[in-house]
Amino acid sequence: MLSSTVRRLFGRTAVTTTLGALAAGLSLVTPLATATPAAAASGTLQRVTDFGSNPGNLAMYEYAPADLPAHAPLVVALHGCTQSASDYHAHSGWQKFADAWGFAVVYPQTSTANNSLSCFSWFDSTKDTRDRGEAASVRQMVDTAVAQYGSDRSRVFVTGLSAGGGMTADLLADYPDVFAGGAVDSGIPAQCATTVSAASGCQYSDQHLTPRQWGDKVRDSYPGHTGPWPRVAVWQGTSDTTVVPVNGTELRDQWTDVWGIGQTASSTQNLTGGTTESVYDDSAGKPAVALFSVSGMAHGLAVNPGAGTDQCGSTGTYYLDSICSSYYTAKFWGLDGSGGSSDGSGLPAPSGVTVTAITDTGASLSWHAVSGAASYDVYRDGTKAGSATSTSYTDTGLSPGTSYQYTVAAVDSTGAVGTSSAPVTATTTGAAPPCYTDNNYHQVAAGRAHQSGGRTYADGSDQDMGLYNIAVIHTLKETSPGYFVIADPGC
């Protein structure tokens, strides 16, 4: 039996009450007007009823500012499971930047007729490959919108959340000749699964593929295409148990390999909401791939309600308050006219970051001073561990025999955080904590977890491991006797 989180993405039969609760907050927020391809939207979300043969049985919605100029960019935005075009338009923040920076947005919408939970079929090779099914319908929507608005075909982009993110990755692989860039939010690498039975493995597990193998899945989606390739932003929460964080790394590996660049970041910086941005430049020094890791964020789209320039969206089911992902995605694509540059305080990365001492539970660092720095933020495995006003820091409370990656960023007098340093690794002394990978039923039977109300919880930490059955597999790390934490995808 698949867990409820698997069913949200893949649309297997769901408990009716659960679906009702998920869908309750996702109803259409405003009545929708109807448009034909010849009619231009004017600052309202409208449905287009005729956009081609529509082999994927999707609905097309669109939004454009009333004063949209010709040759403007076009963004395609795909919702997640149980969501709708109107819901995504209302919460994601794309309307704000369409109005501010002048571009149109197309929102494809699937339905329960296609999938019991209204998920895009990113795992079905009859629907997510070039010129077939849902992928073909989205391509027809692009052609319709480009003709309607006179959009710039060299600036068409696609983004999506969860199952919509998985379909986004597939679309980028299917149509690198159509999309100049994309953003995969809490999603899956392109063509990770070609059947529904393989989908849960992609969702929950490291697929143990090399960057070349991941890249081949893209190259094989449209044989003969040699470039240019889309510029891809990847958004992943570190506490996502629905699409585990290794998917973000796999997406990074996939698209850096397609670009023919390494998996070592050209630059990193710390953004608001506990977000670390790692950028991978192409041979010309322009950002080609970016990985945004949001510390502590669960499964959903990162939003940051407010009136600030870099704020957007509203919270709701799978819309999580941390950072405005739409703002940083649009900047990465260059929709603001920046050409894809990133914000920052202007302070350079500290140099000379060195591990000066280690114990079984601690690590000490030092670095060279940065002119203009009021303090320094220290990050452990992408999460802020602490701050220092001097050029040294000691991190404590660590696990024995464990490797940790540290970066340091200078902070100016206004609190703006500069570019992060290159990472250094510290491995504490002593024996590494034992790890156990098994299904939830066996974890409970072995005394490492307990179940309550049909769900499983790690002993000690009480972290939610999902349903109490053999279909859900986790790795537990015993950080102290009888105290276990989830350590997916593995220690």
User: Would you please indicate which residues are annotated as catalytic (active-site) residues?
Assistant: 162
Q: What average pLDDT does the segment 256-261 reach?
A: 95
pLDDT tens-digit series, residues 78-92: 999 999 999 999 999
So what's the pLDDT on residue 73? Answer: 95
Q: CA geometry: angle at 251 spanning 250 and 257, to 5°? A: 90
So what's the pLDDT on residue 104? Answer: 97
Mean per-residue pLDDT over the chain, rounded? 87
So what's the pLDDT on residue 9? Answer: 52
pLDDT tens-digit series, residues 384-437: 899 999 999 999 999 888 888 888 988 888 777 777 787 889 999 988 788 999
Helix (H/G/I), strand (E/B), else coil: 147: helix
C-alpha gyration radius of the chain: 23
At residue 31, does pLDDT exceed 50? no
Q: Are 160 and 167 in contact (CB under 8 A)?
A: yes
Domain regions of the chain by residue span? 4-333, 354-427, 435-486
So what's the pLDDT on residue 95? Answer: 96
So what's the pLDDT on residue 339? Answer: 59
344 contacts: CB under 8 Å, gap ≥ 6: 269, 416, 417, 418, 419
So what's the pLDDT on residue 190? Answer: 98
At residue 66, does pLDDT exceed 70? yes
Higher confidence at residue 25 or residue 361? 361
pLDDT tens-digit series, residues 278-307: 999 988 888 999 999 999 999 999 999 999
**Amino acid making up residue 375:** S
Q: What average pLDDT does the segment 378-383 reach?
A: 81
At residue 126, does pLDDT exceed 50? yes
Task: Report residue 25's pLDDT band, with 50, 70 and 90 as the boundaries.
Answer: very low
Bridge partners, 206 (sequence order) = none
Q: Are 450 and 457 in contact (CB under 8 A)?
A: yes
pLDDT tens-digit series, residues 353-371: 999 999 999 999 999 998 8
Asked if CATH classification 3.40.50.1100 holds for the domain at 4-333, the reply, yes or no, is no
125 contacts: CB under 8 Å, gap ≥ 6: 132, 191, 194, 195
pLDDT tens-digit series, residues 226-245: 889 999 999 999 999 999 99
Task: Report residue 8's pLDDT band, with 50, 70 and 90 as the boundaries.
Answer: very low
Stretch among 25-29, 413-417, 459-463 having the lowest mean pLDDT: 25-29
So what's the pLDDT on residue 197? Answer: 84
Q: Are 305 and 247 in contact (CB under 8 A)?
A: no
Residue 155 to residues 38, 105, 142, 240: CA-CA distances in angstroms? 21, 12, 11, 31
CATH fold of 354-427 reads Immunoglobulin-like (2.60.40)
At residue 343, does pLDDT exceed 90? no
So what's the pLDDT on residue 469? Answer: 85
Q: What gap in Å lies between CA 205 and CA 182, rounded to an integer? A: 23
So what's the pLDDT on residue 336? Answer: 84
So what's the pLDDT on residue 340? Answer: 62
